[in-house]
Structures are given as C-alpha cells and as structure tokens.
Structure 1
Amino acid sequence: MRARIVAALAGSAVMASPAAGQSTEIVLPPGSLAQAVSILSAQTRTSIAVPDPELWHRRVPGLRGRMSAAEAVRRLARSARATARPAGPDAWRLIPLTAPRPRQPATPSTSNAAVPEPPIDDIVVVASKRDAGLLGYPATVSMVDGRTLAEGGETGTDALLARLATLSSTHLGAGRNKLFIRGVADSSFTGPTQATVGQYLGDVRLTYNAPDPDLRLYDVARVEVLEGPQGTLYGAGSLGGIVRVVRNDPALDRTEGALAAGASATWHGEPGADLGGVLNLPIATDRAALRLVGYGLTEGGYIDDPLRDKRDINRSRVAGGRAQLRLAPIDRWTVDLGITGQGTWGDDSQYADRDAPRLTRQSRIAQGYQGDYLLGELIVRGQLGDLDLVSSSGVVRQRLTERYDASQPDEAPQLFRQRNSTDFWSTENRLSRPMANGWSWVAGFSLLHNRTLLSRALGSPGASVPATGVANRITEGTIFGEMGVEVLRDLTVTAGGRVSHARLSGAGEDVAPLIALARASVTAGRTETSVLPSLAVSATPLRHLTLYARYQQGFRPGGLAIEGPFVRRFLSDRVRTLEAGLRQGVPGRSPVDLSVSVSRTDWQDIQADFLDAGGLPSTANIGDGRINSLAAAIGVAPVPGLRLEAGLALNDSRVTDPSAALVAAFALGRIAQIPNIAGTVARGAVSYQATLPGGQRISLDASARYTGKSRLGVGPVLGAEQGNYLDTRMSARLGLRHWGVTLSVTNIADAVGNRFALGTPFVSGSAGQITPLRPRTVRIGIDTSF
C-alpha cells in the first residue's frame, strides 16, 4: 500500500448545504390551504395548526423559492388572508384576519361536518412539470437528497451511481461517459447518436448527443431520476429516462454561505484534495440576490505503465462553478440569469491490461483527455391566477478532446485524436395547473437546435493526418400536453401526447472529393415527424399506497456516422414501454417505504456502436430488440435515526431481430444481448443519525452496490465481457449546526473489478482491457456554514 497525504489542498469543493433552520427550498403548488400546510410542514419539518375550519378551504397561490421556514409560513398566511403566530419552537398557528362567519343553524348537510384531515406528507416531483406529488405519481421515480451528496466528499455522477440501482454508466472517464437508466443502453462511445438519458439543471437541458459533462453536484437541494421513456414531457433523447438536478436557488432575504475542504489518500496511488464554497448575497431585500458556487478538485492517479516507466499516470482535475442572479420584480414572479462552467482534465486514461499485474498496462503514448462545458440560461417563472408559467432557455458549448494509442507491434507509435464539438440551444415555454379539485394539466412548446462536429486525426504523435469526420445538425420544434383527471375518488387517469418535427442535415468532414460526390444523397437534409402518446392510471386504495400502470413512447432522430472513408446514414429508433408498479409510503418519512415496478420495452431500429474495418467506432441500426425489467426498492426505519435500504434492478435484454447486414459483416450467427446492460444490479445501505450529549450530531452511512455482467458492444472486439464487481463505501460526520468533520472511505474492500472493458480499440487484443475501480480511498474533510 502506498498512501501519501497531500500537504496542500488543490481546488475542489464539497458544498455543505446551509442548515435547514436557515434556509430551505420551498415548492408549494396552488391549491387549498390544507394541501399547502401539509406539504410545507413536510418540507420545513415544522408544525402548523389551523384551528378555524373555514380557513382550511381557502385557495392559495403556489410558492416557490429558497427561504426560511418562518418566511414561508408568513407568506402562506398572507396568501390565505391570515396571520401567523408562533406557538413554540418550530410551531405556528394561522389565524384568519377576518372574524369567522357566524355559525348557521344545524342542517343535515352541516351538523356533522368535520374539519378535513390534512393530506399526508408528500414530496413534490418537480420533474413532472405539474408539481405532482410523489404518492400519486404514475411512474418510477428516485430522489437523492443533496445533503447526503455533500457530506461524503464525492459529488459527481459516481455519487448518484452509488445510491441508485437503476442508473449506470460506461466509466470511460469523467466528462466522457454515457448514462443509462433501466437497461436502455446503446453505445460504448459518444458519437453522433443522441443520448438515451436526458440531463437537466433545473428546467434547462444540459446535453443533446454529447457525453455526460459530470457536473459536480455542489449546493443542490436534490436530484430526481425518472425512469423512461419520458417522451411526452421531455421528447427525444429520454428513452431511458431523465436525470434532473434541483439546485438551491438564491435566497432573497439573507446573506449566507458555506465552505468545505478535504484531503484524500488512495491505496496504490497518489493523494488528492478538494476545496470549495458557496456564497449567497442579497442585492435588494426580497427583490434581488446573487448565489455563487465555486469548486475544484484533484484525484490522484493509480495506473502504472512499466513500458514507459511511469507510475500513477491517470491523475485527473476538475474546476468549475455557477453564478445565478435572481430578480423578483413583482410578487409571484422571478427572473433567473445563470452561468455554469466546468473544465475536466485527465493526464491519461484509466484502463489497465486484464492479464497484467494489478493496476498496470503497457502503452506507447499518453492518452489524456480534456472536457470543457459552458451553459448560459434565462428562466422566467410566474403565476397567472392558479396557473404556473415557466419559460426556460439555455445555450450550451461543450468540447471533448480525446487521445488514443493506435500503435501496432513493431511499428512506430501512432496517435488517434478525436474531438467532439457541440453547440446547442433550447427553449421551452409551458403553462401548468397543479392538481386541485380533481384535475391538473400542463401544455407547452419547445424549440432546439444542435450542431455536433466529430473530427478525427491519425498518425505519428507530432504529425497526425486528418481522417474522415462528420457534422450533424438538427432543428426541432415540439408541442406537448398532459392532463390528469381524478375520474373516481382515489383513481386518476393521465393522458398526454407530443408532436415533434425535426429538420436533420449533415456532411462529411475531410472526405475525398469523389467519395463525397458519390454520397451526396446520403448527406442531404431531410425531415422527420414523430407523435408520442402516453397513458397512465394510478389508484390509492389504501392510505400511503399507490398502484399505477402506464404506457409511453420515446424516440431518437437519425443522423450520419463514419465508416472508414465513408459517411453513411442511420435511422431513427423508437421505444414503446408498458409499466406497472406500486409505491408504499414516502422515503425518509414513513416507517416503511416500498416501490416495485415491472416493465416491457420494445425497441425498434436500435442505434448502437461497432468497430469498422479500420478499428474506429461507428454507429448503425443493429435491429429490433426488447427489454424486460424489474426494479424494487425498500426502506425501513425500525428505530428513530436508523434507516435500512435495499434496491434491486433485473434486466433481460435481447436483440430479437438483428440487422442482416451487420450480422453478415461480422459473420455472426446472432447478436444476442443489447450492449452495456447488466442483468443484475443490487444495492444495500444503512444510515444512522443521532444527537450526542452537548448538542453534537453524528451521522453514519454505509452502502454496497453489485453490478452484474454485461457486454461492451457489438462485434468481435466489442463483445468483451464486463461487470461482475462489488463497490463498497462508508462515511461519518460529526459536528454542530455550523461546522463538521467528515471521514469517508470508498472501495472499502479495495477490489479491482471491471467497470468498462475497453481503453483503446486500436491495440491488438483490446478485449483484454479493463477499467478497474478506483482503489480504496480515504478522505478527511471539514465543512462550515454561516
């Protein structure tokens, strides 16, 4: 074991969220005061009494933003024409401003009238776009609390993977990966195909067909993961589902901030460090505020290369931040201007040779990478009576440059360079009515434009020659709508649809003139129109129990791919999913919570990767397939402060009707398994929180996640097996309200594993490559807030 502790911290941040007593993210849909009080009590963990029966029925507008519990209660009281009076620590009474109406003589219809029982505590699913409650939401959704992400020191996509059994990744490297949900996986590389998972920061889309930018999840309220397809509300690129980050918005009424730092030691490798913070600055009380987030980190390398006589070659660094300006010019309206940026640098790739000594490989040249991501956004929110208006627009610039060792035995070193340049803008405008009086709806339209240029070069490290590249462009216009109606008591039907019209075009880059002329008809522009219907039914026959079934579709448009010196077309693909499930209780609030879902997905014209005759990645439609899935999660709180969790995802995937041309090209009898889908993923976790004498609080968390076997891709090389490993971790935090000390350990068992079975496709015998887990890493951190 080599574990060296770094002497100085180098930039990254583990954002510690402000204490709940200071500020909380509030999301209240319009409705009755009874509904608002129930949701607000759950979100702020306060007790709110309403002794006047007439007050319960008053309509109140929605409330959204980051504020203290006291401010939220006072605003809610004003909306209901009432006053809020303290009734003890974290307790309030709402009293009408006007005298209650004189009691009428008893009649059969009123003599036995009772004060309605407040609804059960619920969690609002913001990604539903109708602020639907979790208890009645007719689909599988998982939520990760932002505070748990902050305390462990690991706040990227890996932190989500450790907490969810249904989410997976390719593990090629930070800023280079593709995410998959519920076994809907396509490709090992990032190329011309659109992602199967939509990623969002609030209401703004982060990517289109670029890799996961792996934005660090600092200063976020929570992350919502909705299993797909989500075609009606989110359109193309949501075949597997969506990942939506709900950040902490600027607080208009106070100055607050947090700072955190940590140092880490990696077994068999180099040390690392992180440092970062958040600062909230009111500019005009209740009218304008600025929230700043900054972070940076360095992670020590752990792969050795004896051929080049180098050790720990794969150090990586990340630096980034956010700035969000919130303006509230009038009551119930906000305007947010934001910018998010992050840079990712890797000195070398993180793969190893399967049959070599532990954590070693032999390569001729360094295979570093660099990713740059920049997002600008404008979001306008307001309320028009009982309706919520949201207009969100974003502009994205994303660049990823990668180097691969293409050297062959007994020949001079060869370097393959690939650069993926994406420019993307999108806007969505919608009106919604949250559930009230038995019905809710959302309707809107969106526009987007995406241009991706994939350029390549091959040759000696100092004199590479441009190779065939491709540019893909798409402009898409969409209208969508969804309505939920409570047709019977505790029985809701939800129906919706989306119509998208896309204009696609593209061209080859650095293509020989004669070949370009011959393929001109392939690269010409074309249009595609898609209609995506959806239907869902949910019922709550018992308190806290929801049963649901839904049918939904999703699609991705086609595009152009590179194969040798040619550019050729691949078709759009489409999925149709039928899902049924149940949900019992609310995670973190009920003594027992349970969710179970089963689904069948039919996938037409699957877009997936293979390696062409020159060893370069290409994309084609590999045929039709199906995926049968079962997902289950349970949480138990046997005693106060203790919570036990378990999750399971089973996937059975098959290519039922493979492409004849692809089978013939590889002389394959069949293409059995859809790439990158593990048959089994299982997770278990335990957490404990307690208050010690003297007011100190301690929290303990431990988890283990098993990822089963899967195939890398299609063809002789990409048919390599991967997976079948166990990832373990734990963390502990001790502190008071405004400070804390954290100890965390990842990969407790110091397992090697194989998260991804390819490092470079050019080296002979590349099927013998693995991507190991980061070795056991211990981090000590401190955090403070004010």
Structure 2
Amino acid sequence: MKKTDRAGGGRHWLLYIGLLSTVCAPARSFASGPETFDIPSLPVVEAIERLSVLSNMSIGGTLRVDPRLRTRRVRGRMSSKTALREMLRGTGLRALQVGVQSFRLERITPRPNPVPALPPPPADPTPDIVVIASKRSLPAQLLGGSVEYVRFDTPLGGSAARRGPAELAERIPSIASTSLGRGRDKLFLRGIADSSFAGATEATLGEYLGEARINFNAPDPGLILYDVSRIELLKGAQGTLYGGGTLGGVLRIEPQRPNLSHTAGSVDATVSATHEGGFGTSLAAVINLPIVEDRAGARLLAYRTREAGYIDDVGRNLKDVNRTITSGGRGQVRFKPGRWQIDVAGTYQRTTSRDSNYSVAGEEPLTRRTSVAQPSSNSFSLLGVEVRGPAAGAELVSTTSVGRNNLSATYDGTVKAGSPAAFRDDRRLTTLNHETRLARSAATGAGWVVGMAAFAQRDEAQQTADEPALADLASNLQSDRVNVALFGQGSLRAGDLLLTAGLRGTYSRQWAETALDLTSNGFGSGGRTELNISPMAEIGWLIDSETSLGFSLRQGFRSGGASIYRVDQRFEDVLSPGFYSIYYGQDLIRAAALELSHRTTGSRPFDLKASVTAVKWNRTQGSIVDEYGFLYATNTNGSTVLNLDLSGSWLIRSDTTLRAGSSITRRVDIGPGSAVSEVPSVPVGATYGSIEWEKSLSNNWKVGMEARLAYRGKSRLGFGFLNEIGQGDALFTNAAVRIGHGSKSLTLSVDNILDDRSSLFGYGNPFTLRSERQTTPQRPRTLNVGLHADF
C-alpha cells in the first residue's frame, strides 16, 4: 500500500492524480471543443480530480508536490486543456502534453530574483473529492452527510490497512462489526443488523471492490487493504442504485489503478509482538508497469501476513493457538484504446486460522479448555472486467465479475458426542454479477443514470462429522438464485435545491434442494419467484457554498431464500423430530433521513456531518440459532431502528488535525412480548476521537504522529437466549509515530495501548454456547515496527 504524507507528499500525490483522472473521468474528450467549467480553488490533487470528472485526461508526474499548494479558480467556457493551464497558473507547475489525452506535470524553472510568494494555505483535512459510489461521480458536498471516506496515508494507516474493513468500526462509529475473525465477520451500518451471524440471508451492507460486489450472503472476506486509494461509505438504504443486500448502505474499496505512464513500486514490511502472545510479520510488494505508454499498463500486488496467536488451550496444553495466516494478491491490466478504457482485474486471498479466537469465563484470561482444534478458513477469488467510454453524450460503464468464496469452520463437538469429536461446517459460493449503466452528470449535481443488472449465485452448504451422534445433526443444502433488475435515477437543479428521484424493479427466482430425508419439505418442485420495486426521493438544499441540508426517503430489500432447521423433540402434534425445509420471504426497509453537511475553508478548515435516520423494517430476515447453536434463516418480527450519527474534523493548526465522531442506535417495536431495545452486535453508543500531527523538516525529512481513542458500548449477541449474552463496553487505544526521508519511512505503532480485555463477541462454539460464557477478547497490546519504501 502506498502511504502518502500530507505535509510532505512525494511523487505518489501525482501518481494518485493520474489514477483519479482515469477512474473518475466521464466520457467527454478535451479535444471536442469549449466547455463550461466552474472549479473553485482546491489543493492540486483535488483540483485535478475535479477537472477529471469533466474531461478525459490522464495526468501524472514524478516530482514532489506540497499537498498544501492550491490551484486558481477556473470559471468560464474554455477547452479542457486551457482549463488545466489556468488551474495551474501561479502554482509553479505546468502541464506538458505527452500523448493524445495525457499530460505530465513539471515544475517551472524559476526566473532570476523571483518575487517571493505568499506561503500556501494549510492543508484541508477534508478536501473535496468525487464519490464514485454515487454511480455519477458526484462531488462529496452534493451528497451531504450520507457519505464518508477513509484514506490510509496517516501514521496509523498502515496498521489499519493490514487489519481489513472490520477495523473501520474503530474509525467510523456508525459501522459495527462482529469479531469471529478475518473472513468470518459481518459488518453493519447505521444500526441495520438482522443478527450476529453470517448465514444464508443476504448482507445488510453491500461491499464492493471497485465495481465488483464481494459479499452477498457471505461474510466480509476481510481483504487486506494494501494498495488502496480510499474507502467510500455511502450511507442509507441503497436499493435503487445497488439492489438487494444494501439495506444499511454500500462500502466501496477503491484500489490503486495502473498508471500508464510511469514505472513505480513499493514495499511494506512489518514485524509485530503481541503481549502474552507471539510474534507476527507482514510483507507486501507493489509494482506498476506501463506496457504501451498511455495505452496499456499493469499493476501487481502480492502480500502475506502472519498474525500472532494469543489464546491458550489448557485442555490440550497448547499456547497461542489462534495464529492466523493470510496471503493473497491482486493483478490489474488497463487498456485505453482511444477514448475507451478497459480494466481487467483478478483478486485472490486465503485466510487460515489455526484455531478459534474465543476464551471462556471461569478460566484464566485468554484461555479456554477444549478437546479438539477448531480451525477455520476463507478462500476468496474474484475476476472482473470493466469497460467504460462515451456513448450518446454520456458515459457508458459495463462491469462483469465472477467470484468464488469457500468457507470452512470446525467446532469441538465433544459435549454432544461424549468423546473428543470435530464437527465441520463448509460452504462454497459461486457468483456471477453484471451491470451496464449509462450516466451523465453536471458540476451542479444535475444528471441521470439508467442501467440494468443481473446476478446469479449457487450456494452449497455441507456439514460433516465422524461420530454418529454428531453426524445425525449434519445437514446439507444447495440453493440457487437469479436476480434481474432495471434501474434509473435522476437529479434536477432548481436554484439552491437539488431534487433527486429514482426507481428500481427487481425480478428474483430461487431454487433449492437437499439430500436429507426431510420430515417436511417446504421447497416444493417449482422454485419461488419474487418481484420488488425500490423507489427513492431526495431533496437537497444547498444553503451556501459551505452548508447543505438534505431529506431523503429510500427503500431497500433483500430477496428471500431457502433454509433448513432441525427439531430434536416432539412439540405436541405440530412438530416431529427431524429436518424441515422452508422458504423465507423477502424483507423490506423504508428509511427517512435528515442529513446536514457543513464545511468551512480558509486557514482553519472545519468539516461537520450529522444525520438522523428512522428506519421501518418489515418481515425482517434473521439467522436464528437452534438448540444446538446452529443457524437457520427465517422471517421475524419487524422493527423500527433509530440512529443519530455525527462526525467532524478540524485543522486546528497548519500541522495538526482533530477528528471525532459518535453514533447512537436504538431499536423499538420488536414485537409482542419482547422488551429488547438493542440491535444484535450493534452498540447503543459508539464514539471515537483522534489527533494527527505531521511536519516537514529540512533535507527532505518528515515526521508524523497520530493517536486514536475509540469506545464501543454494550450490545447483545441476539434475540431469545442470546439476549442474555452481553458483549462490548470496549476501549480501543492506538498510537503511531512515523519518520520519513525521501521515499522511505519507518513507523512505530502500538495497538490496544491499555491492554483492554473486554469481550467483543460472545460466540465461538455452538455446542457449548448454552453451557459456558464465551468471550472474544480484543487482541492484547501489540507493538508494530514497519518499513515502507517507494521506488
């Protein structure tokens, strides 16, 4: 992953410029004639990014650019080439044309006795960016408080990237995560959580790697975030633009893309030591290779991490049993034939945990007592093709991806079997996803997007055991589903108002079969069909250049599916012992949100985002735990979820930034006879604060420090008897110091400084869930020493 120092950015600020100018650029050529521009004074990186939204240029360079340096305002009707020249006037930079649509930034040689320039204004901690997840590449300020983004260029960024998306729960309070382990977790946004377990139901937060969906009804694959440009978080039900499985919103990981003009690379190496645990290591390397200058290029990433274990199993007399190894990589090739752009990308990651992360109350801290090992693994692969270019005066984007996710978990079934025995739970998911859309957008926010999408998946679940007592509990299920959708969304600017409306229609069909001898078969022979209409409407008031207020009504859904549950005893004349199969229906969310965004510029920029959301959730799908601790999916009572979300950042000095945020979630109307007002695995309250300090020194040296404090309040594991299992009330403390010289940097960081041992998750082994209190502690205090080098 490339780390970029805000106070002394190196050549990667320019590589980043080139990346965004190709990823975000709509399909209009700068050679097509004069166009109307209105781009305010911004930091160079962000100004180039904004211009890229309105033209189709690739811009790069190998010189250093101070990220505090700002461009001139560009306003009027002119060619894109002229706009670029006017934008750079007075910055000491110029754009040299090196290809039909390619420019290289160079520093202007100063004339003798130049007039001293005024010092550049301080760096803005929240610069304007273009939100790709909006599917129209809208400026962030037009989306109000519904969008957040995360970058990894701060001193703590390297440690965060190695941990994956689940780590975002410590940086964005509106995100919550379970803590089963990498490749097994489930993420939630704004309190939209159905259960603590990633079973057969669709996710509530849609995760994307670029344009490709990486989760559907599987857990977060836990991709290590090396070589990532940023993460975009689009909050609120996104059923209109993204379809099913986006009830809470969309998390988009935007990888660094191939640069077609320059050869570059980087290496990251880290050694870590965990208190009362072992040693860990990580190594990653990136290489960017132009194949045909300005026409084709490739970018390759490879990595391997070894996370030290820290749980002791006294039953088997073993220490640090939960060691985890993750290895993977990503390969990308970009072609630019004329005004079109084609990206082919392949991603692979395999995570293997030698044993589970949970401990048991009553034993010594960080210990448990079991008879057999409980390993788990997640093997994730994705191949995608993305094509974009001009069509009918708009931008056409067509994406196709094929994914495979193999999951495996082993549990100690000794309690049920009567002797040491293992129970294995395996799933294999194969997905095919396609979307083609046409979009047009103006700098005012007006524009439209229309498209079609298709999705197909096969989900194969198989449980096995050697001991007869456990084998009798093992089930199997193969389910298939196909979704086809048409969608559209448009925005109209009327003075200070931005009016948006959209609609999505989805046809879904499911089939299922099992080899079990069923007591009752609810599948039938013809499958099941569902139709869904997902509308949205939003009104945004652009109060002034710094403040906007928006109110939206959105709808989201999740398609139904198939499930199997077991009954161990007779219930009067209604249920007999055995296996039962059912189809559960789609659920539906209607969300109302009031969102405020305020941002001041100048010498002390300040950014504030606030939102209040009320969600009515009907026929909620949930993964219910049976008497043995295993999951089956069904529809449960509906509920209303209320969420208050607040975040802000402030550049208090030219080299110091404060960030803070809080989220409060409350659930009501769960159903008759229930007094539970907490959402599973979502804390009632969460908050965080951080301070960043970065300074450029003489002789190309730079130093930065960052400290972060986060708190996750109490939550419950689930409903029924799971409501008695508490978790959370955890404090996260992290700090880092980074020293850099030229293209190299050394980082020293400490995670969990206070060595907090609170339980993050109250589940580990389904067979003993009722008989013992299981806790998943935060990783003990860990010291990390990392080296980063660019070439």
Q: Sort the TM-score into its range (normalised by shorter chain).
A: 0.7 to 0.9
Partner of 2:258: 250
Amino acid at match of 1:413: P
Whether contact under 8 Å (1:47, 1:92) holds in the other structure is no
Match of 2:153 in 1: 147
| 2:347 match | 340
Equivalent residue for 1:176? Answer: 184
| 2:460 maps to which of 453, 457, 469 | 453
Q: Closer, same or farther in 2 for the Cα pair 1:719/1:454, shift >3 Å? A: farther
SS state at 1:442 partner: strand
Shift of 1:524: 4.1
For the aligned residue pairs, the C-alpha RMSD in angstroms reads 3.0
**CA displacement at 1:339 relative to structure 2:** 0.5
- Structural mapping, 1:48-447, within 5 Å: 61-63=54-56, 67-68=60-61, 79-80=80-81, 84=85, 90-92=92-94, 122-148=128-154, 150-152=157-159, 154-155=161-162, 156-330=164-338, 332-384=339-391, 386-408=393-415, 411-436=418-443, 439-447=446-454
- Normalising by structure 1, report the TM-score: 0.86
Structure 1 unaligned regions, length at least 5? 1-13, 49-55, 96-119, 659-667
Q: Deviation string for 1:716-738 (max 9, x for gaps)?
A: 14641111111111112110231
Q: Residues of 2 paired with 1:361 and 1:461: CA distance? A: 26
In structure 2, relative to structure 1, the CA distance for the partners of 1:334 and 1:443 (3 Å cut) is same
User: What's the offset of the Cα at 1:138?
Assistant: 4.6
1:3 counterpart residue number: none
Q: What does 1:628-707 align with in structure 2 at a 5 Å threshold?
A: 628-657=642-671, 672-707=677-712
* 1:211-249 CA-partner distances (Å, limit 9, x unpaired): 100111111110001112111111100001111011111
Match of 2:485 in 1: 478
Report if aligned partners of 1:16, 1:785 keep a CA contact under 8 Å in 2.
no
Q: 1:467 to 1:691 in 2, by over 3 A?
A: same
**Structure 1 letter corresponding to 2:555:** Q
Following superposition, the deviation at residue 593 of structure 1 comes to 0.6
Q: 2:575 corresponds to which residue?
A: none
1:750 aligns with 2:743: no
Hey, what's the Cα distance between the residues in 1 that align with 2:462 and 2:354? 21
Any conservation in 2 of the 1:470–1:567 contact (CA below 8 Å)? no
Give the letter aligned to residue 714 of structure 1.
Answer: F
Q: Which digits, 9 at most, give the CA deviation of each residue in 1:281-304, with x for residues without a partner?
A: 011001100100111100010001
Partner of 2:458: helix, strand, or coil?
Answer: strand
Which residue of 627, 632, 650 corresponds with 1:613?
627
Q: Match for 2:512: what amino acid?
A: G
Distance change (3 Å), C-alpha of 1:767 and 1:179: farther
What displacement does 1:438 show?
A: 6.5
Deviation at 1:82, TM superposition (A): 7.3
The answer as to whether partners of 2:26 and 2:390 remain within 8 angstroms in 1 is no
Alpha-carbon contact 1:377-1:394 (below 8 Å) kept: yes
Structure-2 residue corresponding to 1:768: 773
Output one character per residue of 1:459-503: Cα deviation in whole Å (capped at 9) or x when no partner.
43999567222222110111111111012x221111111110111
Q: CA deviation at 1:42?
A: 4.7
The aligned amino acid for 1:682 is: T
Deviation at 1:84, TM superposition (A): 3.8
Which residue number corresponds to residue 114 of structure 1?
Answer: none
Q: Using the TM superposition, give the Cα deviation of residue 187 of structure 1 relative to its aligned residue in structure 2, in angstroms.
A: 2.0
The alignment partner of 2:718 has SS state of: coil
**Preserved CA contact (<8 Å) 2:459 2:478:** yes
Letter matched to residue 575 of structure 1: I
- Greater alpha carbon shift after TM alignment, 32-41 vs 642-651: 32-41
Contact in 2 for aligned 1:498/1:533 (Cα 8 Å): yes
- Tell me: CA distance 1:65–1:757, structure 2 relative to 1, closer, same or farther (3 Å): farther
Q: Could you tell me which amino acid in structure 1 is paired with residue 647 of structure 2?
A: A
Q: Displacement, 1:121?
A: 6.7
C-alpha separation in 1, matches of 2:139 and 2:379: 36
- In 2, the alpha carbon distance for the partners of 1:122 and 1:157 equals 23
Q: Deviation at 1:653?
A: 0.9
Q: Secondary structure at the match of 1:755?
A: strand
The TM-score with structure 2 as length reference comes to: 0.86
Summarize deviations over 1:362-419 as a string: whole Å, max 9, x none: 1111100111000000000112364111101100010000001122189212322111
Secondary structure of the 2:303 match is strand
Tell me how far apart the structure 2 counterparts of residues 22 and 598 of structure 1 sit (CA, whole Å). Answer: 38
Give 2:533's aligned residue.
531
CA contact (8 A) 2:477 2:564 kept: yes
The total of aligned residue pairs comes to 723
1:151-172 C-alpha deviation (Å, 9 max, x unpaired)? 3364312432222111111111
Task: Give the conservation status (yes or no) of the 8 Å contact 1:229–1:575.
Answer: yes
Distance 2:603 2:449 in 1: 28
Work out the CA distance in 1 between the residues paired with 2:219 and 2:127.
37
- Higher alpha-carbon deviation: 615-624 or 699-708: 615-624
Correspondence for 1:555: 557
> Helix, strand or coil: the match of 2:700?
coil
SS across alignment from 1:694: helix
Aligned partner of 2:569 in structure 1 is: none
Of all paired residues, the percent bearing the same amino acid is 32
**Mapped partners of 2:59, 2:714: distance in 1:** 43
Name stretches of at least 5 consecutive residues in structure 2 with no aligned partner.
5-10, 29-33, 66-70, 72-76, 98-125, 567-578
Distance 1:78 1:320, change over 3 A: farther
Question: How much does 1:15 deviate?
Answer: 4.9
Q: Give distance in 2, aligned partners of 1:695 and 1:569.
A: 64
User: Which SS does the other structure have where 2:158 is aligned?
Assistant: helix
Question: Is the alpha carbon distance of 1:711 and 1:586 closer, same or farther for their aligned partners in structure 2, counting shifts above 3 Å?
Answer: farther
Look up the match of 1:506: 512
Check whether the contact 1:365–1:415 (CA below 8 A) recurs between aligned residues.
yes
